[in-house]
Amino acid sequence: MGKPTGFTEFAREPVPWREPLARLVDFDEVYTDPDADENLLRRQAARCMDCGVPFCQSPDLVTGRSGCPIHNLIPEWNDLVWKGYWQEALDRLHKTNNFPEFTGRVCPAPCEESCVLGISEPAVSIKNIELAIIERGFAEGWVQARSPQVRTGCKVTIIGSGPAGLAAAAQLNQAGHTVRIHEREDRVGGLLMYGIPNMKLDKRDVVDRRIALMREEGIEIITGSNVGNGLDGTVSIDRLLAESDALLLTTGATIPRDLPIPGRALEGVHFAMDFLTENTRRLLDPNYADDRFIDAEGRRVIVIGGGDTGADCIGTSLRHGCRSLVNFELFPVPPAARAQTNPWPTWAHVFRVDYAHQEAQAKFDRDPRVYSISTTEFVGNDEGVLTGVKTVDMALDNGRMQPVAGSERLWEADLVFLALGYLGPEHGVSEPLGLELDDQTNYRAIKGEYRTSVPKVFAAGDCRSGQSLVVRAINEGREAAREIDRFLSGTTQLP
């Protein structure tokens, strides 16, 4: 695929981010125009090898740790980009992915970790090419609303407008079913709207652009609709189920993992998502006046936990103008290259520098991360306000992290953000339905079938699988739509 000798002629050249210090003065996206240099992207597409077995597009269905979860036809659209057939590349991309403008920005690209070229050379820059294809599609007017020609008369209700719910809605609408989404927030998108900061995924120019197309296609989306038992201002889930031919739950995994140590109740200790959500809310609303907003300006900030959410707290705190910044990680610093126990094509557990780490390095002249450290206590003053954090160093002992005697430290802090992941979904919807749960309190439904223990009720995305990636949520939404269509019609032509 691509140019037969391209991988021997061209080096990997990622589309650059904006300069770190320039990024910190705004919440605009960190990316530069992916289509600014068409020849750059064509060269990168030319690096795609005729590898025989495209591991990039073939997800590992056993471990889920490699390949593209939505089966993107990556070699095909790489070949088309190399040849200059951009519209045809967009058609191939849309066959498997409803929202490449989302995944092209926020996906960690497990496809690149499974690229055959990546065995011995830097992988093909698949994510950059994907984003360039879809953005050119919007710029050229190739991305248009597509309303179904025929309606089946079947009504499907979806609870939650995150990536799984939106993907399912798009697919079911194309099958001709009448789709209505209920979203409890004031804006559409779930995780895409309030869980991911604007500098990674622009809300107005990217998320709202897609939502407007979906509404034009005939999908009804109701915001401010908190579905539950019908009491205390909630919309009755029983009534919605009775009015629907099928109901899909895509409510996400929204219960954050806490850190129940002494001092947890001190003022200044917050869940990461509370910080990120209210920051985006204020950014989008010029009349925002909510006392839930957390301002990091001039504050000494500690972020506990790594991953995307931890990095997003770092990036947001820097844009507020924090005084200092430290990021605690429990485990040792990852290796620079794959360990023998972490072979290709699985996800490489290696040291990475995300956008926020790069920005902290530019601002404070050091990487913000401190590895092999555990928080033991939050310390405060007589007014109940956080003033510091006590920690102990950790070391590997027989495969387990153990505290190092005599390594206790006190760190000054005004704000702590807990970015420790999520435990599972809230149960305001599942309890009235009497839904069966799995051992992790997720909605019990088998992947590939998505049927819950209640007739006509399906579940997909993080509320079914636990916390995962946007790209996996899109995959589950699409697969759930296929099974709902089969349930309603007796057969299905959805992929």
pLDDT at 36: 79
Q: Is 421 left (phi over 0), alpha (psi -120 to 50) or beta?
A: left
pLDDT at 327: 98
Residue 405 has pLDDT above 90, yes or no: yes
Helix-strand-coil split of the chain, %, nearest 5 = 35, 15, 50
pLDDT at 64: 64
Residue 62 has pLDDT above 90, yes or no: no
Exposure letters 360-384 (e unless 16+ CB within 10 A, then b): beebeeeebbbbbbbbebbbbeeee
Residue 285 has pLDDT above 90, yes or no: yes
Name all domains of the chain by residue range, CATH numbers in brackets.
6-140 (1.10.1060.10), 155-254+423-489 (3.50.50.60), 258-420 (3.50.50.60)
DSSP reduced 3-state for 181: strand
Q: State the average pLDDT for the chain.
A: 96
Query: What would the 3-class secondary structure string for 386-442 be?
Result: EEEEEEEEEEEECCEEEECCCCCEEEECCEEEECCCEEECCCCCHHHHCCCECCCCC
pTM of the model: 0.96
- Percent of the chain scored above 70 by pLDDT? 99
The residues pairing with 424 across neighbouring beta strands, listed in sequence order, are 255
Phi, psi of 252 (to 5 degrees): 80, 175
pLDDT at 2: 72
Which pLDDT tens digit goes with each residue over 386-398? 999 999 999 999 9
pLDDT at 286: 81
Instruction: Give the C-alpha separation, 179 to 5, whole Å.
Output: 48
- Percent of the chain scored above 90 by pLDDT? 94
Residue closest to 218 by CA, chosen among 182, 183, 174, 249: 174
pLDDT at 61: 67
Which pLDDT tens digit goes with each residue over 201-244? 999 999 999 999 999 999 999 999 999 999 999 999 999 999 99
Instruction: Give the C-alpha separation, 43 to 354, whole Å.
Output: 24
Which pLDDT tens digit goes with each residue over 74-132? 999 999 999 999 999 999 999 999 999 999 999 999 999 999 999 999 999 999 999 99
How does DSSP classify residue 269?
A: E
Instruction: Give the C-alpha separation, 13 to 43, whole Å.
Output: 9
Residue 291 has pLDDT above 90, yes or no: no
Q: What is the token pair recorded at 183?
A: 């979203």
Residue closest to 296 by CA, chosen among 317, 267, 280, 269: 317
When pLDDT is cut at 50, 70 and 90, the band that residue 63 belongs to is low
Instruction: Give the C-alpha separation, 392 to 407, whole Å.
Output: 5
pLDDT at 1: 63
